[in-house]
Structure 1
């Protein structure tokens, strides 16, 4: 499995380079630049030229990209042009908030989604199945920002159970976690239900019934274990998407984090910060994909045999 893992990691290198090119190019093609936020109104052209030279913005884009990428490989994310602080320091302050929010949302999606999927599979084609799948369909179609505003209105403004915004105390995490987690819950519930229904039709389940094992034990201990393989893969893939989805939710709930830092830096055209934030999100998606493949191989002996 080790040679396969090495090959799999090496395939991420060209993906990383392609993503870095896209991120760098798009930012520099957007009208405006960070110098606009630093210069005073009426500043002479010489002042702009001096600041562009100081931050290397007067060089050709390929040269700027090469310098930036070289520093990234050395672990240097640069210095924020507007904030005038190391980008790594800004991310180190914001990332724990996003990881806490994303981790709890992933846990919420996993526990609630798998539980609902099991209930729907056990009572398939009956009213619990129809009710759960109907609720899942509604939940999966709601945009995060809209759902967050609705939850804020009901549970913060009307009922006063949770704070409207901020990141003070555990109760400030409840509404953002539910907002992000509901979309993943719908996906996990559907996949769990389908996987369990397909696993029930396998020959080993017929053999277990022939041995006289209780049906509920077969469903929960044997069928579910087989059905969790695609579920675990999907959950790993959602790691990056949950961090990305946290951007709008952090803004809606005015929480500190990578999303808030990204939006603020975008409004200021602070290239080094935006590039670093987007690169972190892209790496989260790539690492989540790798983790999903590894977990799937660990859980399924057939995949491990194919790798040998």
Structure 2
């Protein structure tokens, strides 16, 4: 198991380098100049050139990338051009809000998704199954920002149950968690249902029925356990994607977090901050995939054998 984990970790190194290069190039090819947000009206070209040289923006893209990568490998994400603070401190300040939102949304989508998907598979082709599938279709097609605005209108403005915005207490987390988690719930429920229906057609399940075991016990103890393998893969990917999906939700609910910091920095063309935020999101996806592979390998030894 340890050798499998080491091999998977080594495979992430070239992926990390490729992702860092793509992030750097995309940010620097976006039209706009962060120096324009620093200089005052009436500043001379010489003053702008001095600021450009100060932040190393007068160098070629290759030189800028090499310098940034060297600092990055030493744990230095650079300094924000506009806010003039270390990027690491800005991310450290905002990341806990995004982790709280993403973690609770992931927990919600996992529990509710597996339960609803299991019910749909156990009662296949019933009214319950059709109802669950209709809700899954609705949850996977509704945009998160629209769902967030709808929840604010109903539960905050009309009913007054939850605050409209902010992150003052746990009440302010309820609506954002539901908004982010419902999309993931639909995905997890769909994968769980399909996997359970597929496993239920295997020969060993027929043998269990022939032995006289209760159908519900077979579904919950044997079919669901084998069907969780693809669900684990989806959840591993969701760890990173759910943080990315929280970007728009944080804006809708005016919450602090990595998404709010990213959008603000994009508007200001603050390259170091945008690069740092995007890199954190990319690392979250890679670590989520890595953790998903480890859990899969622990559950199914055949996965470990595929990389030998």
> Normalising by the residue count of structure 2, what TM-score does the alignment of the two structures yield?
0.97
1:17-37 deviations in whole A, cap 9, x for unaligned? 111111111111112111111
CA distance in 2, matches of 1:14, 1:306: 20
Partner residue in 1 for 2:35: 35
Q: How does 1:227-266 map to 2 (within 5 A)?
A: 227-266=227-266
Partner residue in 2 for 1:197: 197
1:185-211 deviations in whole A, cap 9, x for unaligned? 001111111111111111221222222
Partner residue in 2 for 1:66: 66
Give the Å deviation of 1:266: 0.7
1:107-139 deviations in whole A, cap 9, x for unaligned? 010011011001101110010000000111011
CA distance in 1, matches of 2:62, 2:11: 24
Count of paired positions: 308
**1:284 corresponds to 2:284:** yes
Partner residue in 2 for 1:154: 154
1:69-105 deviations in whole A, cap 9, x for unaligned? 1000000011111101111100000000000000000
Partner residue in 2 for 1:139: 139
Partner residue in 2 for 1:224: 224
Partner residue in 1 for 2:101: 101
Partner residue in 2 for 1:48: 48
Partner residue in 2 for 1:274: 274
CA distance in 2, matches of 1:33, 1:18: 25
CA distance in 1, matches of 2:216, 2:26: 54
CA distance in 2, matches of 1:198, 1:205: 11
Partner residue in 2 for 1:115: 115
Give the Å deviation of 1:305: 4.1
Partner residue in 2 for 1:129: 129
Greater alpha carbon shift after TM alignment, 197-206 vs 184-193: 197-206
CA distance in 2, matches of 1:82, 1:108: 37
CA distance in 2, matches of 1:265, 1:305: 45
Q: How does 1:166-177 map to 2 (within 5 A)?
A: 166-177=166-177
**1:21 corresponds to 2:39:** no
1:268-295 deviations in whole A, cap 9, x for unaligned? 1111100000011111111111111111
Greater alpha carbon shift after TM alignment, 292-301 vs 100-109: 292-301
CA contact 2:77–2:272 (8 Å) conserved in 1: yes
CA distance in 2, matches of 1:21, 1:220: 46
CA distance in 2, matches of 1:123, 1:283: 39
1:210-243 deviations in whole A, cap 9, x for unaligned? 2222111111111111111111111111111000
> Normalising by the residue count of structure 1, what TM-score does the alignment of the two structures yield?
0.97
CA distance in 1, matches of 2:49, 2:306: 59
CA contact 2:199–2:227 (8 Å) conserved in 1: yes
RMSD of equivalent CA atoms: 1.1
Q: Structure 2, unaligned stretches of length 5 or more?
A: none
1:172-197 deviations in whole A, cap 9, x for unaligned? 00110011111110011111111111
CA contact 2:4–2:304 (8 Å) conserved in 1: no
CA distance in 2, matches of 1:37, 1:195: 53
Greater alpha carbon shift after TM alignment, 4-13 vs 70-79: 4-13
